[in-house]
Chains A and B, each alone.
Chain A
Amino acid sequence: MSKQDVILLGKIAKGDKVAFKAFYVTHSSMVYNLAISYLKNDQDAEEVTQDVFVNVFKKAFTFKGASAVNTWLYRITVNASLNFLKKKKRSRMSPLENSQFQISDFLNPGVTLENKEKASILFKAIDSLGDNQKTAFILSFIEELPRQEVADIMEISLKATESLLQRAKTKLRVDLGKIYEYRRKNK
């Protein structure tokens, strides 16, 4: 746990805007990148990043040091991203036929050039996972966090995290298999 972050949160809880700015500078990139993995859209990820920091300012006093600051912040970001997705889903029209086989037009800027197309397919497939499997997968394989930290963020046991990851990978393999067949037939 970073002592500096804990000190900053203590000051933020008292309304210190300078501390808040310092906290934003240190963590905004992490928050934005995690949000982009869920939302696959710059504008939405920016909106969620704003929501997260507004929440940090409002809820800084609730941080009691039971978990690391990073874990706490990851948790706020995961919840904000999932809530944003739910709101968006409610307002969205019914999906187009075969939309699961269409590649998302979003290209994650952090992915290497040779992996761009495959990463787009993967991000599209991740969409079909349930909230918990999606979170476990994104935190483990995109954020590349240790399993224990993923478990801490999700407030579940290590065993439950591993089970979620196993099920997520199995589902993704099935879905990707279908996409592979569809693409082969339509070449």
Chain B
Amino acid sequence: MEKDRWIDEVLNSTQHIKRTKLKRDLFPIIEERLVLRETRVFGMSKSAMMAAASVLLVINAISIYYFNAENSNLRNDGSSVLSYQEIGIIDYSGY
């Protein structure tokens, strides 16, 4: 049958296909990509570390600032400092 013969010819059309050569040398491009990748990865991790360190420093500074401010308020306003009796601990026998 002609149809089957045609299908067989199409299926066999790539038999003994020859290897084609690359039209250009890709090695310099590959090397460039590897260098870029190395640079980018190092740059990113370094900058990420710097950013993380900066954020931590800022958080620390803010915490210290508020902690100091709160402590100084307590010292100035005596009524906010509660004695053990005021908060209900009057019997020390249990301790």
A residues adjacent to B (C-beta < 8 A): 17, 21, 24, 28-30, 32-33, 36, 42, 46, 49-50, 53-54, 57, 108-112, 115, 118-119, 121-123, 125, 141-142, 144, 169, 172-173, 176-177, 180-181
Query: B11 → chain A, closest Cβ, in Å?
Result: 7
Determine if B22 and A32 form an interchain contact, defined as CB atoms under 8 angstroms apart. yes
* Chain A interface SS verdict (over half): helix
Count of CB-CB pairs between chains A and B under 8 Å? 89
CA distance A172 to B6 in the complex (A): 13
Contact of A180 among B7, B20, B23, B33 (CB under 8 A): B7
Q: How large is the interface on B (under 10, 10 to 19, 20 to 34, 35 or more residues)?
A: 20 to 34
CA distance A108 to B23 in the complex (A): 13
Q: Which of B1-60 contact A (CB under 8 A)?
A: 3, 6-7, 9-11, 13-24, 26-27, 29-31, 33-34, 37
Q: Which residue of A lies closest to B37 (CB)?
A: A54
Contact of A122 among B3, B14, B27 (CB under 8 A): B14
Cβ of B9: which chain A residues have Cβ within 8 Å of it? 118
Determine if A110 and B7 form an interchain contact, defined as CB atoms under 8 angstroms apart. no
Contact of B19 among A29, A46, A54, A119 (CB under 8 A): A29
Cβ of B30: which chain A residues have Cβ within 8 Å of it? 24, 50, 53-54, 57
Determine if A176 and B7 form an interchain contact, defined as CB atoms under 8 angstroms apart. yes
Q: Which residue of B lies closest to A46 (CB)?
A: B26
CA distance A119 to B16 in the complex (A): 12
Determine if A180 and B14 form an interchain contact, defined as CB atoms under 8 angstroms apart. no
A29-B19, A50-B30 known; A115-B14 Cβ under 8 A: yes
Cβ of B37: which chain A residues have Cβ within 8 Å of it? 54
Contact of A29 among B14, B22, B27 (CB under 8 A): B22
A-B contact pairs, 9 of them (CB 8 A): A24-B27, A29-B20, A32-B20, A36-B20, A53-B27, A54-B30, A119-B17, A144-B17, A177-B3
Instruction: List 9 other contacts, CB 8 Å, given A108-B14, A118-B10.
Output: A53-B30, A108-B17, A110-B20, A141-B14, A142-B14, A144-B16, A169-B11, A176-B7, A181-B3
Determine if A42 and B11 form an interchain contact, defined as CB atoms under 8 angstroms apart. no
CA distance A33 to B13 in the complex (A): 16
